[in-house]
Each structure stands twice: as C-alpha cells, then as structure tokens.
Amino acid sequence: MLAGRNQQHVASCADDLKSRGAGAVHTCNMNALDPQDAKKVFASAINSLGEIDCVIIAHGSLTDQARANHDIDYALQEFTINCTSFLGYALAFAEYFEKRKSGSIVALSSVAGDRGRKGIYVYGAAKAGISTIMQGLRQRLSASNVQVLTVKPGFVDTPMTADIPKNPLFASPQSIAKGIYSAIQKKKDIVYLPFFWRWIMLIIKLIPERIFKRMSL
C-alpha cells in the first residue's frame, strides 16, 4: 500500500508496481500536517491489507534554512512535517507490531541529524528527532521480535534535491533502495547509505565544538 499527498504521483507509482508484477497495489491519501492522519493511514492499511509485515516511513520536506531563520511559521511547519508527524505514524504502527510480535518499522532519517549545522539545522533537528524516536522504539520493541531500522542516507538524487548542485557524494535512488532492502533482510538496526557516510559523520561528530562552531560545514 502506498500513502502520499500527491495522489497523481501515488497512482503513477502504483501503476509502475503493477507493471513490474505486483499482484495488487492499494493507495490512500496522506497529510502529514493533520494530527489525526496517522490513525487514518493505519486504519486504511489494515482495511486494505488485513495484515502488515513492514512499514516504511519516508515522507519529508527539505527545509529552506535561510527562510526558516526568519519565518517562524514556516520553520514550525517544516519541523511538523519532518518530525512531529513522524511520531504519530511510528506510534500507530509500533503498537500494532508490538501486539503482533513480529514485523519491521523502517524510517528514513538522515546524516543531517548527526550534528547541527547552520545551513540545515531545522531539517537536521527533525531528523535527529526521528533517530531518537526510533532508538527508543527499538529498545521498547526488542522483546517483541520487531525490527526497528533507522536509515541515514546522505545526498540522494531525487526531486527533493533537484536544486542542489550534484557532486560525487550523490547516490542514485536505486542504490539507496537496494541498501534499505538489504538492511531489512539482515535485520539491521541502523544503516548509513551509502556506507561511507558512517565514517564521514563520525569524523564530523568528533570535531570539538569550539572548533566546529567556526567552521562552514
């Protein structure tokens, strides 16, 4: 089942999945700014599928930090889309999997959440929130045989990053998708994609704050 805001795009994705061999593809509307939407999406998934084995929560908006610095309403809306709404979806499905005692919850966080940087700190803070929520859920659900996988991608060549100049660090959506699928199959807890971002972010996190605050990363 596919849930999304742009129903034309969701329908196009559904048709593509069917053409690749999917037996049935269900769709539903999703509005991350609606506090009640998580319950609606969960109910729609149960009604359509009967049972759920895996949920991938991957919605988001790449925040314009320059605008967020001065537009408080915009900053709060972006944080709601990228973090607050995520909590609702994660909790709705977590309770289901906990009772079922199986399944996988997969969430797309970001390497941007590993350390606050002046050019992306609202978005980064939201992604850090996702990682922390997932860490808590992982501990909560470990006794229920539920996988809780946090995916931390770097730059990915998607419509979200269309306005960002491309460089060798950009990865294709296909390679990221394969990495996510592999991590689900291997029952991993956290995965950086591509793998080298784990070491890049480790170095960045180790820079002392008194030095880091003067840098332009």
Domains (ranges, CATH) in the chain? Answer: 54-212 (3.40.50.720)
DSSP tag of 114: S
Runs of H (alpha helix) within 103-196: 121-141, 173-185
Alpha carbons 19 and 14: distance in angstroms, whole number? 9
- Tokens at 182, concatenated: 């592999």
Categorize the per-residue pLDDT at 162 as very low, low, confident or very high, splitting at 50, 70 and 90. Answer: confident
SS3 category, 27: strand
Q: Report d(CA 111, CA 10) in Å as an integer.
A: 27
Q: How far apart are CA 144 and CA 94, in angstroms?
A: 10
CB of 42 closer than 8 Å to CB of 96: yes
The confidence band for 147, taking pLDDT boundaries of 50, 70 and 90, is very high
The tokens describing 29, both together, are: 């509307």
- Calpha distance 164→186 (Å, rounded): 32
Pairing type for strands 147-153 and 27-29 reads unpaired
* 3-state class (DSSP) for residue 71: coil
pLDDT digits (tens, 9 = 90+) for 31-79: 999 999 999 999 999 999 999 999 999 999 999 999 999 999 999 999 9
Q: What is the pLDDT of residues 98-137, one digit of tens each?
A: 999 999 999 999 999 999 999 999 999 999 999 999 999 9
Per-residue pLDDT, averaged over 186-215, amounts to 97
Residue 91's Cα: distance from chain center in Å?
14
pTM score: 0.94
Lowest average pLDDT, out of 97-111, 136-150, 153-167, 171-185, goes to 153-167
- pLDDT value of residue 178: 98
What does the block give as tokens for 98? Answer: 């906990």
The pLDDT of residue 160: 87
- Of the candidates 157, 168, 65, 155, the one whose C-alpha atom is nearest the C-alpha of residue 111 is 155
- The edge-to-edge listing of strands for the beta sheet with 147-153 is 54-57, 104-108, 147-153, 190-193
